């Protein structure tokens, strides 16, 4: 299997997608958060191809996806009580937990760490595909590294056509932001990546949950080090969009409606945090398709999902 593929197949049968994964093929599929680029974890060559297809730095580990929690014992050394409680509350769903890994999990998957990140997605199609595959599947977000995650199969196609074996033509992802990542290898749950499950929700189940204390360069969460979620257009976070002037080369994404929105080349008003989260990446991609130079994003309140949205927006706006 070479690096580039003349043709990426489009699929609509979950059984077929699962079968291809079981053979070691690279198949992108929908989850409730974003599309994932799947590869069965016991094929070293498959894991290597995931990194190549995405252009992903080799030291950024992958999340292992399971059809159900009952197979977790196959990949982790132990299941601490904090993890059982969080799984009970949020699995299947958009929560990734980090465990001590079993020896057979290859360093390609975990980027050499002795821990492994695992989640069991809630999306019914994802579950059917994982079930049909019958083995654990590593799946980073199905985008070229650094770009906004893909929440539609068309966006996966835009980034990865010719680089992977197949794309499942599923629905638009409902959540739109990646899973929350929580490290369960220490004395208490540690939030590594903000996401679909909020800190408040985690603390409701485990009041001792703490936020990542260290700087992004910390090895605990290697993925935080890199450029992420960035469209080609420059992203600017704006507190008060009423001061803005629109032109055909500028895009505006706002939480409140604005009568001057039509002055922009692309304008979207997303009335609540759920919709904002669900559509922000697709808005970025649409702005790029239209050749926008600047994307203005109205800041959102840092409550509930707002915290994860602001995390993604500020990373998209980072310019070094
Ligand atoms: O919602 C999601 O999580 C999506 C869908 C497809 O499931 N996947 C996703 O994968 O966002 P990716 O590869 O884009 O992000 C994986 C994140 C990175 O921040 C990475 O550093 C972290 O998980 N991660 C993976 N393994 C880890 C580990 N052993 N310890 C700490 N962080 C880990
Ligand atoms: Mg990603």
Handedness of CA 117, 97, 149, 312 (dihedral sign): negative
> Residue 90 belongs to what H/E stretch?
helix 81-90
pLDDT score of 218: 46
Q: Is the CB of 60 under 6 A from ligand 1?
A: yes
Query: Using CB atoms within 10 A of its CB, is residue 217 exposed (0-12), middle (13-18) or buried (19+)?
Result: exposed
Q: Which residues of the chain have pLDDT under 50?
A: 1-2, 215-218
Our CA angle for 113, 115, 118, nearest 5°, is 125
Q: Is the CB of 223 under 6 A from ligand 1?
A: yes
> Residue 45 belongs to what H/E stretch?
helix 44-54
3-state class of 108 per DSSP? helix
Taking CA atoms, 234 is separated from 47, 237, 297, in Å, by 32, 10, 11
pLDDT score of 296: 97
Q: For residue 20, give both structure tokens.
A: 């291809």
The model's pTM is: 0.95
**Which of 95, 222, 227, 308 should be mutated for ligand 1, with most atoms under 8 A from CB?**
222
pLDDT score of 94: 98
pLDDT score of 226: 72
Tell me the CA–centroid distance for residue 55 and ligand 2, in Å.
11
pLDDT score of 217: 46
Give the span between the Cα atoms of 1 and 7, in whole angstroms. Answer: 13
Q: For residue 230, give both structure tokens.
A: 């960035």
């Amino acid at each position: 299997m070479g690096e580039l593929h003349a043709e990426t197949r489009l699929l609509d049968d979950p059984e077929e997608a699962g079968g291809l994964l079981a053979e070691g093929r690279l198949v992108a599929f929908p989850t409730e958060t974003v599309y994932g680029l799947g590869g069965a974890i016991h094929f070293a060559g498959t894991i290597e191809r995931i990194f190549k297809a995405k252009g992903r730095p080799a030291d950024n580990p992958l999340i292992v996806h399971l059809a159900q929690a009952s197979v977790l014992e196959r990949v982790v050394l132990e299941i601490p009580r904090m993890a059982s409680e969080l799984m009970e509350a949020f699995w299947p769903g958009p929560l990734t937990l980090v465990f001590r890994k079993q020896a057979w999990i290859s360093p390609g998957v975990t980027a050499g760490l002795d821990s492994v990140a695992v989640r069991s997605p809630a999306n019914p199609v994802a579950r059917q595909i994982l079930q049909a595959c019958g083995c654990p599947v590593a799946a980073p977000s199905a985008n070229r590294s650094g770009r906004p995650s893909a929440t539609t199969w068309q966006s996966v196609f835009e980034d990865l056509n010719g680089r992977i074996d197949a794309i499942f033509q599923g629905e638009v992802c409902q959540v739109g932001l990646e899973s929350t990542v929580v490290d369960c290898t220490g004395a208490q749950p540690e939030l590594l990546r903000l996401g679909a499950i909020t800190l408040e929700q985690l603390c409701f189940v485990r009041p001792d949950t703490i936020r990542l204390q260290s700087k992004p360069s910390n090895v605990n969460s290697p993925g935080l080090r890199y450029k992420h979620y960035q469209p080609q257009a420059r992203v600017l976070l704006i507190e008060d969009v009423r001061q803005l002037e629109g032109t055909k080369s500028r895009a505006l994404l706002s939480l409140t409606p604005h009568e001057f929105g039509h002055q922009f080349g692309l304008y979207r008003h997303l009335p609540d945090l759920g919709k904002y989260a669900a559509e922000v990446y697709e808005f970025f991609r649409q702005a790029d398709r239209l050749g926008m130079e600047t994307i203005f994003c109205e800041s959102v309140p840092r409550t509930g999902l707002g915290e994860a949205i602001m995390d993604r927006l500020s990373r998209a706006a980072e310019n070094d």
